[in-house]
Amino acid sequence: MALKRKNKQFRWRRKHLLGLRDLSAEEITYILDTAEGFEQISTRSVKKAPPLRGKVVCNLFFEDSTRTRNSFALAASRLSADVIEFTKKVSSVSKGETLLDTAKNLEAMGIDIVVIRHSAGGAPKFLSRNINVCVVNAGDGFCEHPTQGLLDAYTIRKIKGSLEGLKIAIVGDIAHSRVARSNMWAMTKLGAEVIFVGPPTLMPTQVGRLPVSVSYSLDEVIEKVDVINMLRIQFERLGGNPFPSVREYSHYFGLTVERMKRAKPDILVMHPGPINRGLEMESEVADGDNSVILEQVKNGLAVRMAVLFLVNQAAAQNY
Amino acid sequence: MNSELLIKNGRVIDPANDIDEKCDVLIIDGKIAEVGKIEKDAQTIIDAAGKLVTPGLIDIHVHFREPGDEEEETIASGSAAAVAAGFTSVVCMPNTNPPIENETDVEYIHRKGRQARKTHVYTMGAITKKREGVELAEMGFMADAGAVGFTDDGNGVQYSAVMLRALKYAAMFDVVIAQHCQDNGFAGSGVMNAGYYSTILGLPGIDTLAEEAMLWRDIQLVKKTGVRYHAQHISTAGSVELIRAAKKDSLPITCEVTPHHLLLTDECCAEYDTNYKVNPPLRTAKDIEAIKEAVSEGLVDALVTDHAPHLQSEKELEFLAAPFGIASLECALGLYVKALLEPGILDWVGLIRLMTEKPAKIIGVDKGTLGVGEQGDVTIIDPNAEYKVDVSKFRSKSRNCPYQGWKVAGKVEKTIVGGEIRFSVGD
């Protein structure tokens, strides 16, 4: 049973946020509750609070990112931390300084929290084992993107009150999506029913063992769901030719105005961004009344503040 | 002057000659002179009471990294590790840098092996130039120089027509063609078994089909050519089925398995520990069961380590970026005991057969028996001695071994190569 209000007995003990798979419903709820408290900081005239004063947060990004990186930077600075940016585009097997050496250097500089995005699944866990600073995963390969999962859950909870019993469709390239995975862990733990929708060639191996159902037909699913989360087709990650053409993909899996007519009137339309307008979603839908896409971005800030706050607190208390 | 070595009172196991009894073994001038009750004085007498006395163990699949990657392993360090693990003969894989692809390369390996004075060191040659799978390498010259088989190990030969040509051509030389079965189309950029764990870990997977599709194709080519073929490190239940059917058809096909494909599953990768990153990848419990069943049915012809040493600095990377390979030579016997003997799948005779007689046959060398007149390669094993695997004590240059701290039984006491004691416990 997911807890709705702040649980006074609960203590957050993790100094890393590596993924949502290992988190309990109680832990996820605790992060969301904490984020609620931080949301109003952004509405003040002085948009700053002191809990991370004197702490250094490093944005260690090995993949392109604008919104996640800026969101973390802003979250850290709202909590009064100093932020350093370390952006380096590398292929997973490129020579040169190893990830471990890079991280050890940062550790030596006295970093308190590393926010890492990397193309290799498991890179944040690898760091957390090898350096003595807090590690926050900002996306690793197609493993997890925990703060995205959290902010999506937060957005739904804020509008619908709870995730318990909701039907949520996640549509698109599930196989290569860390967002789909983190969404799945967070939403199912909070009591929602998740449906993965996409062509079989974009479903992960042994999807049947995941706590979701699978559909190859958006048309069948669209009428049933309370929330629809449209993934971005990530052309840079697609291996080979998993669908014959963009046109054909859009025909079967695009969220069009036509399809929206058959959806529940209060359906929430989500997208982790950036949107390929006209591909996975028509502009009228992206900008329509059911869209909460910008709400997601706004909530991301509060969620990331909560995460930075909590891992830092756990580190300070030597958990 | 004759040199004489007498091993007394051991349980002598010589599967090739159907011997399993308490008796003695006499080696004179490096050759087996007599096996039986021997009342005789000798220059050197070893009391092997309570121990197993077996033909020298043979590992037909090791990577000693020389030439090219001597920081990971050399023939000297690798064969020192091998002899301490009871092996008297090893077969190096040709995926060195540069690869072993002509007679000079083969002779180089042999010379380094002789200089190391530990085990007999054999090598396979590459099937194709640069192991690129396009043009045949000089198999004839290499066979004449003593290469004991051919493989592009690390790569499978992708083009069917090239593989067919290799098998046809090899018919001239009575050599075995060995294959690392991996269809790159199915394997893609995979780094672990494609399954539930690759999905939740967000790592690209290698489907079992990558191995099975190539093995199936090769079996068709063997049907056509009749040339001896050896499937290296099989890892899937589907491969077992293919081998079963091929053997039923009496095709000249053999196969080998490694300790890790008998003991470890893809779940081991859950913490992204790169010591579990190996190719073919660790599969599932179902695959292990099938492979064990294959061993018990006699479908598996050799136990091999696929000893693949890598430096710690190379393995201390993201799972995606680290190289494939497990270094397990120095605890191999204990691992086979754990995987096959302790669950009752094999007895000692069966286990020793797959480490001596049968692998020797695959590579076509006069080794792996204690027949009179054969080379005096003998391993003495304490079957009950338990020990903990301690990678810090490895003679290998590398430590990429996931069995650290495992408690295993079956300890090598002495390794005798050509009548010379090359290793004694405590060395």
**pLDDT tens across B63-89, in order?**
999 999 999 999 999 999 999 999 999
Tens-place pLDDT, residues B387-412? 999 999 999 999 999 999 999 999 99
Q: Are residues B405 and B331 in the same domain?
A: no
Q: Are A172 and A204 in contact, with CB atoms under 8 Å apart? A: no
Residue of B306, B366, B377, B427 with catalytic role: B306
Joined together, the tokens standing for residue B413 give 């006491």
The Cβ of residue A36 has, within 10 Å, a number of other Cβ atoms equal to 18
Local structure of A19: helix, strand or coil? coil
Confidence band for A206, pLDDT divided at 50, 70 and 90: very high
User: Cα(B381)–Cα(B186) distance, rounded to whole angstroms?
Assistant: 42
Residue type, A190: L
Asked whether residue A13 is domain-assigned, the answer is no
Say whether B195 and A130 touch across the interface (CB within 8 A): no
Asked whether residue A59 is domain-assigned, the answer is yes
User: Cα(A306)–Cα(B223) distance, rounded to whole angstroms?
Assistant: 65
- Over 70: is that where the pLDDT of A239 sits? no
My answer on whether omega of the bond before B281 falls inside 30° of 0, hence cis, is: no
Burial of residue B328, with CB atoms counted within 10 A of its CB: 0-12 exposed, 13-18 middle, 19 or more buried: buried
Under 8 Å CB pairs connecting chains A and B tally to 73
Asked whether residue B368 is domain-assigned, the answer is no
Q: Are residues B62 and B46 in the same domain?
A: no
Q: Are residues A307 and A258 in the same domain?
A: no
Joined together, the tokens standing for residue B272 give 């992204």
Q: Residue B5: name the closest of B55, B41, B42, B54 by CA.
A: B42
The residues that bridge with B52 in the sheet, in sequence order, are: B11, B381
Inform me whether the C-beta atom of residue B318 falls under 8 Å from chain A C-beta atoms: yes
Confidence band for A159, pLDDT divided at 50, 70 and 90: very high
Task: Using only the alpha carbons of chain A, give its radius of gyration.
Answer: 19
Q: Are residues B206 and B337 in the same domain?
A: yes
> Degrees (nearest 5) of the Cα angle A39, A45, A47?
50
Say whether A126 and B313 touch across the interface (CB within 8 A): no
The residues that bridge with A230 in the sheet, in sequence order, are: A171
Asked whether residue A1 is domain-assigned, the answer is no
Inform me whether the C-beta atom of residue B270 falls under 8 Å from chain A C-beta atoms: no
Q: Mean of the pLDDT values across residues B196-208? A: 97
Asked whether residue A10 is domain-assigned, the answer is no
Joined together, the tokens standing for residue B315 give 């393995």
Host domain of residue A252: 146-296
Q: Are B43 and B395 in contact, with CB atoms under 8 Å apart? A: no
Q: Are A169 and A229 in contact, with CB atoms under 8 Å apart? A: yes
Say whether B272 and A100 touch across the interface (CB within 8 A): no
Q: Is B306 a catalytic residue?
A: yes
User: Cα(B161)–Cα(B164) distance, rounded to whole angstroms?
Assistant: 5
Chain B residue closest in CA terms to A124: B318
**B269 CA: distance to closest CA in chain A (Å):** 10
- Over 90: is that where the pLDDT of A241 sits? no
Inform me whether the C-beta atom of residue B321 falls under 8 Å from chain A C-beta atoms: yes
My answer on whether omega of the bond before A272 falls inside 30° of 0, hence cis, is: no
Inform me whether the C-beta atom of residue A314 falls under 8 Å from chain B C-beta atoms: no
Tens-place pLDDT, residues B326-338? 999 999 999 999 9
User: Cα(A170)–Cα(A164) distance, rounded to whole angstroms?
Assistant: 17
Host domain of residue B122: 56-363
Q: Are residues A190 and A65 in the same domain?
A: no
Asked whether residue B369 is domain-assigned, the answer is no
Q: Are residues A160 and A292 in the same domain?
A: yes
Q: How many angstroms separate the Cα of B158 from the Cα of each of A161, B24, B133, B172, B208? A: 56, 50, 6, 23, 16
Q: How many domains does chain A have?
A: 2
Better-scored residue on pLDDT, B52 or A7: B52
Asked whether residue A207 is domain-assigned, the answer is yes
Q: Are residues B133 and B258 in the same domain?
A: yes
My answer on whether omega of the bond before B15 falls inside 30° of 0, hence cis, is: no
Cβ neighbours of residue A178 under 8 Å, at least 6 residues apart?
A139, A140, A141, A142, A143, A144, A145, A148, B202
Say whether B202 and A99 touch across the interface (CB within 8 A): no
What sections of B132-207 are H helices per DSSP? 139-144, 160-170, 184-187, 196-201
The residues that bridge with B91 in the sheet, in sequence order, are: B122
User: Cα(B416)–Cα(A315) distance, rounded to whole angstroms?
Assistant: 57
User: Cα(B359)–Cα(B139) distance, rounded to whole angstroms?
Assistant: 21
ipTM computed for the complex: 0.90
Q: Are residues B39 and B120 in the same domain?
A: no
CATH number at residue B31: 2.30.40.10
Q: Mean of the pLDDT values across residues A134-139? A: 98
Using CA atoms in the order B361, B366, B367, B372, what is the torsion angle rounded to 10 degrees? 130
**A285 CA: distance to closest CA in chain B (Å):** 30
Q: Are residues B112 and B224 in the same domain?
A: yes
Burial of residue B142, with CB atoms counted within 10 A of its CB: 0-12 exposed, 13-18 middle, 19 or more buried: buried
Alpha carbon A260 to its chain centroid, in Å, reads 25
Q: Which of B193, B201, B283 to mutate to test the interface with A (most CBs of A within 10 A)?
A: B201
Q: Are residues B68 and B110 in the same domain?
A: yes
Predicted pLDDT at A93: 44
Q: Are residues A189 and A270 in the same domain?
A: yes
Q: Mean of the pLDDT values across residues B277-294? A: 98
CATH number at residue B132: 3.20.20.140
Say whether A121 and B203 touch across the interface (CB within 8 A): yes
Inform me whether the C-beta atom of residue A99 falls under 8 Å from chain B C-beta atoms: yes
User: Cα(B414)–Cα(B393) distance, rounded to whole angstroms?
Assistant: 17
Q: Which residues of A touch B198 (CB under 8 A)?
A: 205
User: Cα(B85)–Cα(B333) distance, rounded to whole angstroms?
Assistant: 7
Predicted pLDDT at A92: 45
Asked whether residue A128 is domain-assigned, the answer is yes
Q: Are residues A120 and A248 in the same domain?
A: no
Tens-place pLDDT, residues A259-294? 999 999 999 999 999 999 999 999 999 999 999 999
Say whether B272 and A210 touch across the interface (CB within 8 A): no
Tens-place pLDDT, residues A2-15? 344 556 678 999 99
The mean pLDDT of chain A is 92
